[in-house]
Amino acid sequence: MPAADGKRKRQQKPVNLDTLGLEMGNRPPQALDVEEAVLGALLVEPNCVDEAMEELTPGCFYNEKHRMIFESMMHLVNSHVSVDPLTVSQQLKTDGNLEAIGGPVVLAQLSQKIGAAAHIEFYIKILKQKCIQRDLITAAYTILKDSYDESINVDQLIDTAQTKVFDAIQNNVKKDVQEIGSVITQAMSDIERLQDSTGLSGVPSGFPSLDKVTLGWQPSDLIILAARPSMGKTAFVLNVARNAAVDHHVPVAIFSLEMPAIQLCKRMMVSETGLSADKIKGGVRLEPYEWVQLEQKLKDLSRAPLYIDDTPSLPVMEFRSKAKRLVNQKGIKLIIVDYLQLMQGPNELKGLREQEVAAISRTLKATAKELNVPIIALSQLNRTAVNRQNSNGRPLLSDLRESGSIEQDADMVLFIHRPDYQNLSPDPSEAGKAQLIIAKHRNGEIGDINLMFRSSEVKFVDAEDTLLARAAMDDIGQGYVPVSDMSAAVGDIPAGGSSDFGPNNDFA
């Protein structure tokens, strides 16, 4: 059947490890005596069966006859039939494999492996190790062969290589069951370790009203932040990244698929210094005192543990590899992806957009769980979120674009809602007001967080803090003056406008 892109998929021939081993002068990793010991233990000791079925797969057995015997045992277990020499012999006969394995005499010989059951756990570990080695050899050989194929795109080659190595490892690694006592001890240690002066168990967002609900961004959570274009998604996560890295010295990684690193940096410089975007972008000459202001304000930001990767169209498996390396080398505690729909899914899903986005979403969640760090992924909304009538334009979970699995995989879904920007509120006093809607929260409350958006600083602030600050200023008889405009109070800025640029600028 033709592939989605109109090209016929290349058929990969299975790698013959015996032939490959001869070519390289080596035998494929194997332990035939251990395979026999495990099968013998399963034939005579029922207590060994459950553990073996949980830990092993047919691929863990190198010898084809041994593989057939284990497959027959799996069939019996799935059919709720006990495993013994007679039932296995009958199942092999039903499958047409009894003579292929050497007949009932082979089963009788295996069952004579006295003492094997006592060491079954150790034997299982050996078989899994040999299996991983064989899978890695197969993956490496396939990668080597594909690397010589000029018809294969390099990006596709890298994606395939990462996927094959990752699958070879993941398919053979299983976590043990844990007793509740040890889990509670671990949880208590985590709480003690994570709680600092902020009183939060997760990474602080820098927005007190939000942190009261979430207790910070929690490890292993996938957080989806969604809004229509130009609502301030990037501005919000840059504020979050800055607050964590600068104020709390939390290492943060940003994967920017839409915007170059230098543009992100200039946005953060506007927020940090209060200087106008035109001056930061270089279109307007800076005054001498503004150069001083720029250098002083950027000292903390330049020293912050903040890392940016601006690779466009980043394949999701490459993202996973980079994220793992950053966590191991830089101690990253928060990862931000801007944005999800710009990532590339598995090559075999090209042209199947909904399935591709679903695969990306699942990988993001799996990565968050594996690395034990929160991942905030930006996402677009469908246009129906804007055009919906009689709802003040508030987005819904059903508005998430291109895949319902995004909602399913996410631990938290946040929406940015700005009625003044969408011309849904004619009241001048509503200018700048924004709601961060917690539409889904797997481990906590849902509701609205009131924020203010300062377009001149490309910055969201907590509405509660803003009101307290203005009240304090009023008490001493002064108006609130933003850093970006030393000659005008906020009240002097026209409703819905900005002292520096309009809402449709490229910094919004």
CA atoms within 13 A on the CB side of 146: 22
Residue 258 among the catalytic residues: yes
- Per-position DSSP letters for 258-285, written without gaps between them: SS-HHHHHHHHHHHHH---HHHHHTSSP
Measure the CA–CA gap between 266 and 278, rounded to whole angstroms: 10
Measure the CA–CA gap between 234 and 200, rounded to whole angstroms: 24
DSSP state of 10: P
DSSP state of 443: T
Give the DSSP H/E element, type plus range, for residue 469.
Answer: helix 463-475
Greatest extent of the chain over all pairs of C-alpha atoms, in Å: 99
Name the active-site residue from 45, 258, 290, 430: 258
Contact in structure between 95 and 24 (CB atoms under 8 Å): no
Measure the CA–CA gap between 184 and 268, rounded to whole angstroms: 40
Contact in structure between 220 and 369 (CB atoms under 8 Å): yes
Instruction: Let me know how long the chain is.
Output: 508
Q: For the CA atoms of 89, 93, 94, 97, what is the dihedral angle to 10 degrees?
A: 110
3-state helix, strand, coil in the chain (%, to 5): 50, 10, 35
User: In this structure, what are the phi and psi dihedrals at residue 438, rounded to the nearest 5 degrees?
Assistant: -90, 95
The residues that are catalytic are 258
